[in-house]
């Protein structure tokens, strides 16, 4: 795959993942205020949200020059592992193979997605691949993933910390992903 088609693939994946994240946030709010069928809809779009992160993680690892290739590789591997685990857990829930309570055991993998976002944004900002605003949007999204997981683990789904983290990632990630897509299409 040439660099132009690779950047277009990453950009389109970022857009789709951003849209799925927005839909996940909206259907999640509707589920907690109205109920079904919005919970099922949230689960389905959350699978798309993370599946389309895979080309982003792989592509950014290849595109972003780094003075520390080992940190870049570890960041990409942590992110991809978190993405796969999250996608598997949500996919099993959508397919009815596990119940909601069992699916929450997969939720801590979201912290790995947050760690990946923090690492990739730090490296991209450090070498000038990302403008500062894009990096900060990624930092907010990455921290949101980590805070949401911490809130769930320490206070359960009723924890305000869980909701603050969810809101940070629900807003920060789409901003980051759309901005990333626009940046890549311009290059």
Tokens of 49: 């949200």
DSSP H or E run through 30: helix 3-33
**Side-chain-facing half-sphere of 123: CA atoms under 13 Å:** 23
Are 72 and 61 spatial neighbours (Cβ–Cβ below 8 Å)?
yes
What is residue 67's predicted lDDT score, i.e. its pLDDT?
A: 63
pLDDT reported for residue 55: 96
Question: pTM of the predicted model, to two decimals?
Answer: 0.91
Helix-helix angle 38-51:3-33, to 10 degrees: 160
Question: Quick check: 39 and 90 in contact, CB under 8 A?
Answer: no
- Reported as a single tens digit per residue, the pLDDT across 14-29 is 999 999 999 999 998 8
Q: How far apart are CA 165 and CA 113, in angstroms?
A: 13
The segments of the chain whose pLDDT lies below 50 read none
Q: What is the rounded CA–CA span in Å between residue 146 and residue 54?
A: 19
Give, as one character, the DSSP assignment of residue 92: H
pLDDT of residue 62: 87
Q: φ, ψ for residue 160 (rounded to 5)?
A: -60, -30
Q: 98-117: per-residue pLDDT in tens?
A: 998 898 899 999 999 999 99
Sign of CA dihedral 125, 130, 131, 133: negative
pLDDT score for 65? 74
């Amino acid at each position: 795959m040439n660099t132009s088609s690779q950047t277009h693939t990453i950009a389109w994946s970022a857009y789709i993942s951003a849209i799925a994240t927005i839909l996940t946030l909206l259907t999640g709010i509707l589920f907690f205020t109205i109920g079904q069928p919005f919970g099922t809809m949230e689960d389905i779009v959350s699978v798309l949200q993370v599946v389309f992160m895979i080309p982003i993680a792989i592509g950014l690892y290849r595109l972003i020059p780094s003075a520390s290739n080992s940190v870049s590789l570890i960041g990409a591997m942590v992110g991809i592992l978190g993405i796969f685990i999250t996608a598997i857990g949500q996919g099993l829930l959508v397919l009815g193979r596990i119940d909601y309570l069992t699916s929450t055991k997969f939720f801590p993998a979201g912290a790995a997605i947050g760690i990946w976002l923090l690492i990739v944004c730090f490296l991209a900002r450090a070498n000038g691949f990302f403008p500062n605003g894009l990096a900060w949007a990624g930092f907010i999204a990455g921290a949101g993933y980590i805070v949401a997981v911490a809130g769930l683990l320490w206070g359960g789904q009723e924890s305000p910390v869980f909701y603050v983290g969810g809101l940070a990632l629900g807003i920060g990630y789409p901003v980051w992903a759309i901005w990333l897509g626009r940046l890549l299409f311009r290059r």
